[in-house]
Structure 1
């Protein structure tokens, strides 16, 4: 009886160790990869030729940049090293691409 219990415990411990090693290996492998978070910002319902519409679009871009660089759409990703720098770059890139 005790032998069966010992074997089952050993299998459980080895199984848990194998799962833990797999999870840690996945994190290490993902550490070297660069991930780009992209958020589509719609101009629907805005008249960009009017100051109010342009202001609302800029506000939407700000929100999207903040979300992309902090908590949004980051499933199991490490947070940005410099969230404020990420925000400034994301907002600048979005404005430049909107002006093209």
Structure 2
């Protein structure tokens, strides 16, 4: 666990107390093993959506933030669909490739 705390402090930029809390939650067994992975994937999706919308000039960062927060707790791909005016049908299936593993 100490190596994990040190990694979060030294490489990620967490404050030590926050890093200790994150590691404690991960090792204490209070969360499912996939909790941290799901958190990471959500972060990657949000970053990709921000790159698509803000960095390519389709909306300002403030517009992005306000629109994203307005959507509340729906899957990120559904947020993206509302941003790009993609029609959502009853038989909608996920197809968004939000991360390039070849980078």
Asked if Structure 1 and Structure 2 have the same fold, meaning a TM-score greater than 0.5 normalized by the shorter chain, the answer is: no
- Rg comparison, structure with higher value: 1
Relative contact order, CA 8 A, sep 6+: which one is greater?
2
Q: What's the TM-score, normalizing by structure 1?
A: 0.29
TM-score (norm 2): 0.28
